[in-house]
Amino acid sequence: MSAAPAPALKNVKKKATAPSPRAKPGRPPRALDQDLRERILDVAEEQFSKHGYDAVSTRAVAKAAGATSAMIHYYFSTKRELFDAVFARRADILNVERMASLDAYEKRSGKDVSVEGAIEAFLAPTLARMDETEGWRYYLALVAQVGHKPQWGGEVMTRSFDPVIQRLISVIRKAMPEAADVNLYWAYHFLSGALLLTLAETDRIDRLSNGQCRSADIDAILPRMVRFAAAGFRSICGAAAK
């Protein structure tokens, strides 16, 4: 005897299943997102430092980073946005370190704040980074390059570093209460020039001195730059300082 046929199933709905998420076109797997973004920033930092903004293309950055142009544009829609991300990444770190250094110096010194002490607290965190990773050296050379770029360098430096510079001026003003603001800012302008030249590590002084001086010798640079800049502040500001 044959088995009865199975009854027809009526009005039975299959349980809906959510479609599998698909990656955005040009986007790497999520687990690789942050690593790839950092690698792109590292490569762009080196290339901008060595060749300058105008000579670097996003295609070249993508190739060196093992990525595609689409991936570059996924994270950074334009080359300028990529550059700004490169510049801001370490600027934020430097600003935190320099603010902390100035705050600590001011608290430690109380009423005995000196021009030398303020300048050293400002310079030391930056110059110390020159002895660290190759990435930091690329970045600091890039800062020097941007500081001398007339078209938009001033805007980038202002956006990135003005708060910590104003903090330095406020500490120096405690040591030179009679100094006019105009003279304090001119004195900082000249200090900035010396700092940017040092960050560039052009090895000009190495050649000029026949090797007696080295552009990467931070232990020699820091105390001399502090004394040089402090004397300049005193001379320009024309006020007694501690």
Q: What was the pLDDT predicted at 32? A: 56
How many Cα neighbours within 13 Å face the side chain of 186? 12
89 phi/psi in degrees, rounded to 5:
-55, -50
Give pTM, 2 decimals: 0.81
Mean pLDDT by 10 residues, the chain (242 residues): 47 42 48 80 95 93 92 92 94 96 96 96 95 90 88 84 96 95 96 94 94 94 97 85 48
Query: Token pair for residue 211?
Result: 């090797």
Q: What was the pLDDT predicted at 239? A: 53
CATH topology of domain 28-77: Arc Repressor Mutant, subunit A (1.10.10)
Q: What was the pLDDT predicted at 14? A: 43
CA distance 56 to 41: 13
Q: What was the pLDDT predicted at 179? A: 96
Q: What was the pLDDT predicted at 19? A: 39
Contacts of 234 (CB under 8 A, 6+ apart): 115, 176, 241
Q: What was the pLDDT predicted at 114? A: 97
Contacts of 191 (CB under 8 A, 6+ apart): 119, 225, 229, 232, 233
Q: Which long-range contacts (CB under 8 A, 24 or more apart) does 120-125 make?
A: 120/222, 120/226, 121/171, 122/98, 122/164, 122/168, 123/195, 123/222, 123/225, 123/226, 124/222, 125/94, 125/97, 125/98, 125/101
CA distance 139 to 132: 11
Which residues in 19-31 are b (16+ Cβ under 10 Å) and which e?
A: eeeeeeeeebeee
**How distant is the alpha carbon of residue 150 from its chain centre?**
19
CATH topology of domain 90-237: Tetracycline Repressor; domain 2 (1.10.357)
Q: What was the pLDDT predicted at 157? A: 87
Domain edges within the chain: 28-77, 90-237
